[in-house]
Structure 1
Amino acid sequence: MMQRLPAVAIAGLSCENSTFTPSRTRAAAFHPKRGREIIEHYKFLHPKTKLGDEAEWKGALIGHALPGGIVERASFEELAAEIIQRLSEICQSLQRPLDGLWFDIHGAMYVEGLEDVESELLRRIRAVIGPTAIVSASMDLHGNVSRELAHQADLLTCYRTAPHVDVSETKERACRNLLRALEVHNAGGSLPLKAWIPIPILLPGEQTSTRDEPARHIYDAVPEVEKRDLILDAAIWVGYAWADEPRNRAVVVVTGWNKPAVAKGAQELAKTFWDAHGAFRFVAPTGSFAECLDTALATNARPYFISDSGDNPTAGGSGDVTWGATQLLRRPEFCEATGPKVIYASIPGAEAVAIAEKAGIGATITVTAGAEIDDLHAGPITMRGRVHSIKHGDPHAHIEVVLQVGSVFVILTKMRKPYHKEHDFTELDLAPRAADVVIIKIGYLEPELYDMAKDWMLALTPGGVDQDLGRLGHHRIERPMWPFDTEFKAQPDLQARFIPSSRESTPGDNLR
C-alpha cells in the first residue's frame, strides 16, 4: 500500500506594529490569500517541486500587511475567525488528524486589547488542529519569541539577513524543518527539543544590519550551529524596538534531538550576541535632518541618499508625517527649478492626488497633504507646484503623483507606500541616479537603493519609529534592557531554557 502524504495546513497573519504610531491597521491591509492562492503564491510548494510533492498542502488563510499602527481588534477577530473556520473545514474534509501546520507570521503584530498576539492566535488554532499536529513557524528576525509562543510552536526559524534577502529561503526552511520533524516522529522518534534564551537587548534594525559588524559575525555563526549533528535549526531574533510590550527583546532558539548539543549551540549564540552588545552602531553616519541636507549639498557624491527614518512605513511609521518635507521645502537652495534636484518619497494625500489627477500633467496647482493621521510632529503641508507625472495601479499607493516644487520632486500618494526599488521612481518619470539628493522614508537602505547611493546618511527624524528610542517613552519592556540601561548589576542569565511542546503542560513561570 502506498504510504499517504502528510497533510499540512498553512495559516498566519503577518504585520509589524508600532505602539507609538497613531494610525490603525485594518483587515483589508493584510491582503488575505486563501486556499489554493497560498500554494500558488509560494513557488517552493508548487507541484513537481521537492517540497510540493512531499506533503498534501492545505491553504487556510494568510495575510501580510504593510507595517503600521496597531491592528484594530475587530479586524484581527474577523481574520482570526476565518482562519479557524477554514482550518476546521480542512480538518473535517481530511477525516483524519492534521499532521502539521506551517505558521506563516512576522512576530511583531500588536492588536488592540491583546498582547503576544501570535501565541494567542496559535492557541486558538491549537484548539482546532489539536496538540499533536506539528507546528513550524517562520518569522522575521525583527519579530518576538515569547516563552508562550515557543511553547505553542514545535519549530521556529527566522530570517538571517537584514535587509531581508532570504525571505523565501526562510519560509522554505520552515516547511522543510516541519517535514523532517514529521519524518522522525512518524518513524518513532521524538519531537525536536527547543532551547530558548532571552537576551536583554532591544535595538532598532538600523543598528543591527547583517551587512555590518557586529551583526554580521553574530548571524554568520547561526548556520555553523545548525550544521552540527542532531541540530535541526538555529535562529536569532533581534526583536522589535518600536512596541512597548514585555516580550520585546532579542531571543535565541535552537532546536534538535541532542540536548547537550542544542543547549551548547543556543548558549554560544546568546553569548556571542551579548558579548557584542556595546559594539552596535548605526549603519550609516547620522545627524539631524538639517545636518544631513548640509552634508549632501557639500559633497560631490551623487546621488546622495538621506533616510527620513522616523516615519519609515516599513518599520511601523504611519507614512504621513510631514516634518521632513516641511524642513526640506523651507530651504532656500531648493526654491527655484534650477536648484539642486531633489526627490522626496513620499507624502500620502488622497485629496491632493485627486486635484492633481483632475488638473493633469503640466498643470500648476496648490494642494495640501499629509498629517491626516500622524500630526504629532507637524501639520498638513501646503505646496504649489507643477504636476510632473501621474501613475495608476500601484498595489499600495493606488495612485501616485509627482509634484515639482522648485527643484524638489515630491511624490504624493493616495495611500501610503514604501519606495524600495529603482522602478518605483522610473515609472514616475524620475531618474534617481541623475538626482542630486534622494530622500526616502526608510531606515537602512534596501539593496537597490544601497547600490544606487554614492553616499548616504540616516536622518534622526521624529515619528512613530524614531531611532532615538529614549524619546518614545517605553515603560513596559523588561528591565534592565540595553541600551535603555547601560549598567547591569549582574551578567544576564544566558542558560538554555528547554521549552516543553504543546503536548505537555504549559511552561509555567514567566510565559513572556
Structure 2
Amino acid sequence: MSSRATPLPRVAIVGIAIESSTFSPHRAGLADFVVRRGTELLDYYPFLTPGQPLRERAEWVPLMQARSIPGGAVRAETYQQLERATLDLLAAHGPFDGVFFDIHGAMSVEAQTDAEGGLATRVREVVGPTAMVSASMDLHGNVTRQLLDAVDLITCYRMAPHEDAMESRERSVRNLLDRLDSGRRPHQAWVPVPVLLPGEKTSTRVEPASRIYAEVPKVEALDGVLDAAIWVGYAWADEPRCRAAVVVTGDDPELASQQAERLARAYWQARAEFSFVAPAGTLDECLAEALASPARPFVLSDSGDNPTAGGAADVTWTLARLLAHPAFATGELTGVYAAIPDAAGARAAAAAGVAADVSITVGARVDDRHQGPVTLTGTVAHVSTTDPVAGTVAVVAVGGLRVIVTERRKPYHTAEDFSHTGIDPAQADIVVVKIGYLEPYLYELAADWRLLLTPGGVDQDLLRLGHNDIQRPMFPFDPDMPDPDLTAVVVPPRDRRTPGLVPSQER
C-alpha cells in the first residue's frame, strides 16, 4: 500500500503503432499486429516492470497496444477494429488521470491523411479534458496541429538507428508522472520544417544530424523547458503531414519558442548537407566493389524493399540479379540473402526436408512491379518451424548463395534473427539484407558495407516515387525554394485555452 497522502494517479496505456509506406502495395491487416494487453503490455516496458521506480508512482491500467512491423497502409476495417477496441476499453475502465499514448507517428490508414491525429482526438474525447496525455513517438513520425491539440506532452527518439527507443518511452512516462504530481500543464512550441528526407540521409551517427541532435538535450536542460524533440518525418507516405518538425515543451512559452525556432533553423540550414550514411550506388556498382574488396563479410543493404521502413519485403529485383551472377552461380563466392517471404515456397521446401533438391518459385506475391517471382533450384540447407515471427523458415542453397525463405515477413537485423536459419553471417563473403542504415548487430558485423539504391516501396530516390499530396514547396522536391517562415506556433496548455475557441484556430 502506498504511503502517499493522496491516491496514486490512474494512468492508462494505449496505442496503435505501425510505419506505413503509401508507395507499397502491401496492406496491413490484423495478422500483422501484435496486440498486448494487461500484464503482458505493462511488462513490455522494462521501466515499468515490478520493482522499477516508475511502476510504483501510478496505478497502471495497461489496456491495449497494437504494434506491427512496418508495411503498407492499414486496411480501413483493421484500423476501425483496433480503434474501436481502444476507445471501448478507455470508456469501460475510466476515469483516468493520465494516458501514456504509445504510437509511431507514420501510420497510414486507407482513406485517412492523419491517422494518429485522428486517433489522439478520439482518445481525448473519451478520457475528457482533464486527463493528461503523453505521446511517445518515433523520430520518423509526423507531427500535426491536430495531434498536438489532443495531447499535453509529446516526445520522440533522439537516435537513428533507434537505440534509445525504450529510453524515449521512459522519458515520456516520467514527464507524464512529474506533471501529474505538479498539476502543471506545459506549453508546446511547434515549428513545421518543409524538409522531407529518408532516414538513410538523416542518421544521427553522422553529420549533420549528429550535431543537430546533440543540441536537443541541451535545450531540454534549460530552466523552463521540459522536453525538446526533432522529427525527421516520414518520407515514404504521400500525405500533407509528412515533413520535419520541432516541438519544445515547457512552462516558459517565450523560451520554448526561441529554442524551437533555433533547432528548426539549424535543421533547415543543414538541409543540403544531409547525405547517405554509407557509400551508396546501384547494385552493379556496389557488388563490384564488394567483389574487389578483401573485407569479409561485406554487407549490402537492399534498401528499396526494407520491411522495417514499410517495404513489402518480397520484391525480387535484387535476388534475381544475384542468382544470375556467375560468382554465386559457380560457388566462387558464398552469400546470404535475407530474406524473401513466400508462404507456399517456405512450406514446400520444409516439406521436402534438409538435403532435398528442390525447385520452388518465390517472391513478388505482393509487390511485383519491378520483377516477377523467381525460381530457386537448389538444395534445402536448413528448416525451422519455430521462428515466432517468420513461422516456417527454409534456407535454399543455390550455388554459393543461401536464400532464406520465410512463411511470413521478417527483417534480419540481429543475431537472434538468424538463430532459426542455421547460418552464421560472419562466415559468408557477402551478406545481403533488406534494410537501410545498418542496425547495431549488422553494423558491427560488417567489415565493410554499401547502401544499394534499389527499387521498392521505400525507394531512396524520393523524386521518382511521385509524391503528389505533400505540402509544397518542400526540400528536396523544390531545391530552389525560398527560406520558409520558421516562427513557432505555441499551443497553450489545455487549461488556458479560450473557451469556445476551436483549438486548431489558436495561434
TM-score higher than 0.5: yes
The correspondence for 2:380, drawn from 382, 387, 392, is 387
For 2:79, the equivalent position in structure 1 comes to 76
For 1:18, the equivalent position in structure 2 comes to 21
For 1:506, the equivalent position in structure 2 comes to 502
1:220 maps to 2:250? no
Cα distance, 1:334 vs structure 2 = 1.3
Q: Are the equivalent residues in 2 in contact too, given 1:334–1:407 (CA < 8 A)? A: yes
For 1:437, the equivalent position in structure 2 comes to 430
Rounded to whole Å, the distance in 1 between the matches of 2:262 and 2:149 is: 22
What RMSD, in angstroms, separates the aligned Cα atoms of the two structures? 1.4
For 1:44, the equivalent position in structure 2 comes to 47
For 1:114, the equivalent position in structure 2 comes to 112
Following superposition of structure 1 onto structure 2, how do residues 438-453 of structure 1 map, counting pairs within 5 Å?
A: 438-453=431-446
The correspondence for 2:454, drawn from 458, 461, 484, is 461
Following superposition of structure 1 onto structure 2, how do residues 90-105 of structure 1 map, counting pairs within 5 Å?
A: 90-91=93-94, 97-105=95-103
Rounded to whole Å, the distance in 2 between the matches of 1:502 and 1:366 is: 63
1:58 maps to 2:61? yes
Following superposition of structure 1 onto structure 2, how do residues 391-406 of structure 1 map, counting pairs within 5 Å?
A: 391-406=384-399
Q: Secondary structure at the match of 1:52?
A: helix
Runs of 4+ in 1 over 3 A off after TM superposition: 500-511
Q: Which runs of 5+ in 1 are unaligned?
A: 92-96
Following superposition of structure 1 onto structure 2, how do residues 341-380 of structure 1 map, counting pairs within 5 Å?
A: 341-380=334-373
Cα distance, 1:46 vs structure 2 = 2.4
Rounded to whole Å, the distance in 1 between the matches of 2:31 and 2:338 is: 24
For 1:159, the equivalent position in structure 2 comes to 157
Cα distance, 1:425 vs structure 2 = 2.6
For 2:142, the equivalent position in structure 1 comes to 144
For 1:184, the equivalent position in structure 2 comes to 182
Alpha carbons of 1:487 and 1:494: their partners in 2 closer, same or farther (altered >3 Å)?
same
1:472 maps to 2:475? no
The correspondence for 1:493, drawn from 478, 485, 500, is 485
Rounded to whole Å, the distance in 2 between the matches of 1:453 and 1:300 is: 12
Cα distance, 1:45 vs structure 2 = 1.4
The correspondence for 1:252, drawn from 242, 246, 256, is 246
Rounded to whole Å, the distance in 2 between the matches of 1:79 and 1:230 is: 38
Q: Are the equivalent residues in 1 in contact too, given 2:186–2:493 (CA < 8 A)? A: no
Q: Are the equivalent residues in 2 in contact too, given 1:151–1:506 (CA < 8 A)? A: no
Q: Which runs of 5+ in 2 are unaligned?
A: none
Rounded to whole Å, the distance in 1 between the matches of 2:494 and 2:40 is: 29
Rounded to whole Å, the distance in 1 between the matches of 2:342 and 2:42 is: 36
| Bigger mean CA deviation after superposition, 241-250 or 121-130 | 121-130
Rounded to whole Å, the distance in 2 between the matches of 1:446 and 1:215 is: 17
For 1:333, the equivalent position in structure 2 comes to 327
Cα distance, 1:501 vs structure 2 = 4.3
Number of residue pairs the alignment of both structures matches: 500
Q: Are the equivalent residues in 1 in contact too, given 2:121–2:146 (CA < 8 A)? A: no
For 1:32, the equivalent position in structure 2 comes to 35
Cα distance, 1:264 vs structure 2 = 1.6
Matched residue type, 2:32: A
1:420 maps to 2:413? yes
Cα distance, 1:35 vs structure 2 = 2.1
For 2:129, the equivalent position in structure 1 comes to 131
Rounded to whole Å, the distance in 1 between the matches of 2:82 and 2:348 is: 35
Rounded to whole Å, the distance in 2 between the matches of 1:500 and 1:259 is: 8
Q: Are the equivalent residues in 2 in contact too, given 1:322–1:370 (CA < 8 A)? A: yes
Rounded to whole Å, the distance in 2 between the matches of 1:210 and 1:305 is: 20
Alpha carbons of 1:438 and 1:162: their partners in 2 closer, same or farther (altered >3 Å)?
same
Rounded to whole Å, the distance in 1 between the matches of 2:408 and 2:103 is: 24
Alpha carbons of 1:322 and 1:224: their partners in 2 closer, same or farther (altered >3 Å)?
same
Rounded to whole Å, the distance in 2 between the matches of 1:74 and 1:178 is: 32
The C-alpha deviation readout for 1:199-222, integer Å capped at 9, x for no partner, is 010000000000000000011100
Rounded to whole Å, the distance in 1 between the matches of 2:68 and 2:363 is: 21
Cα distance, 1:509 vs structure 2 = 5.0
For 1:94, the equivalent position in structure 2 comes to none
Rounded to whole Å, the distance in 1 between the matches of 2:287 and 2:402 is: 15
Cα distance, 1:506 vs structure 2 = 3.2
Rounded to whole Å, the distance in 2 between the matches of 1:427 and 1:298 is: 31
Q: Are the equivalent residues in 2 in contact too, given 1:197–1:251 (CA < 8 A)? A: yes
The correspondence for 2:204, drawn from 206, 210, 222, is 210
Identity of aligned residues (%): 50
Matched residue type, 1:496: A
Rounded to whole Å, the distance in 2 between the matches of 1:244 and 1:233 is: 29
Rounded to whole Å, the distance in 2 between the matches of 1:423 and 1:52 is: 29
Q: Are the equivalent residues in 1 in contact too, given 2:306–2:434 (CA < 8 A)? A: yes
The correspondence for 1:481, drawn from 463, 474, 484, is 474
Cα distance, 1:510 vs structure 2 = 10
Following superposition of structure 1 onto structure 2, how do residues 274-353 of structure 1 map, counting pairs within 5 Å?
A: 274-337=268-331, 339-353=332-346
Cα distance, 1:500 vs structure 2 = 3.5
TM-score normalised over the length of structure 2: 0.97
Matched residue type, 1:460: L
Cα distance, 1:127 vs structure 2 = 1.7
